[in-house]
Amino acid sequence: MAALLRVSAPAKINLCLEVLGQRADGYHEIRTIMQAVSLFDELSFSVRSDGRIVLHASGAGLPAPKDNLVVQAARLLKEECGCAKGADIELVKNIPVGGGLGGGSSDCAETLCALGDLWDLGLSSEHLAGLAARLGSDVPFFISGGTALCEGRGERVSALHAEGTFHYVLVMPPERISTGQAYAAIEGSLTTSRRAGRIEDVQAALATMDARRLGAALYNDLEVVAFRLNPRVRCVHQTFVLACPRVECLGLSLSGSGSSLFGVFDSHERARKAAVQLAGELEVPTLAVHSVPRRQEHCQRLPGSEDNRP
């Protein structure tokens, strides 16, 4: 495919996640601080003049093209704007599917932004965010990325100031935990006592670039049920906890409903060394990553006809 636009779609982690209760619409009311990190899916786009949306995807665990959020995003954009153009889309999947890292939502948001640009639709960030909310709870966060407080079912996004770069090790067990099952099981496990004031601690740590304080403030209301639903992930977590002093990890948590875990480190070098050591001890994929800033116009437009496909 002769690409005209290439983008990188980052993963996210949840530095804190409060589940406040079930809403009348069946969703759960949440408060979470999400941060984009340097594990990326790669997408390429080119315009088709016949109006078709064609997805070429590679990677493990991907849904059928018609069920992929990338295709759903492109079709929604066409319908919303009455656009006659189509697109060939190539997706290289590096973020684990169903691991709590938001890869599908990130791909979806980047598709909205990239095709909005490639099709010259002139959409505002607010319009894109509104479309994103119709596609998934995490999608609006990725329209701007960076670090943000997300509320409601996740669609109300408020950017946060995060001074400097934070370093993490992602631990990615292959087991998958259903988000729906995790939320369905949460009701009897909710408690407010252990999280009182911790969202403010996370915000303060981000603002002051205090990795130690951030590590101590991490929490996730879904951890209890996620570990109950998948004992293998609980075992990986317990082994990670025991390894923390040796690898100089400052704190760890579950991302989303799992199964991915992450630990906080005070430097890239410590995170890199820990990722190598933990890979051997935990026997699951690990990766040193860092926080990435708010989404910029990082698309790469390449020369060529915008109607290079039939």
Rounded CA-CA distance 178/180 in Å is 5
Neighbours of 117 (CB within 10 A): 17
From 12, 78, 85, 93, active-site residue: 12
Q: Which token pair is 282? A: 């935990």
Closest CA to 252 of 102, 243, 261, 197: 261
Neighbours of 303 (CB within 10 A): 6
Residue 119: C-alpha distances to residues 76, 87, 90, 144, 203 (Å): 13, 9, 17, 20, 38
Rounded CA-CA distance 248/4 in Å is 44
* Residue-wise burial string across 194-211, b where 16 or more C-beta atoms lie within 10 A, e elsewhere: ebeebbebbbebbeeebb
From 41, 88, 107, 138, active-site residue: 138
**Does residue 93 have an active-site annotation?**
no
Rounded CA-CA distance 214/207 in Å is 10
**Does residue 138 have an active-site annotation?**
yes
Give the residue numbers marked as catalytic.
Answer: 12, 138
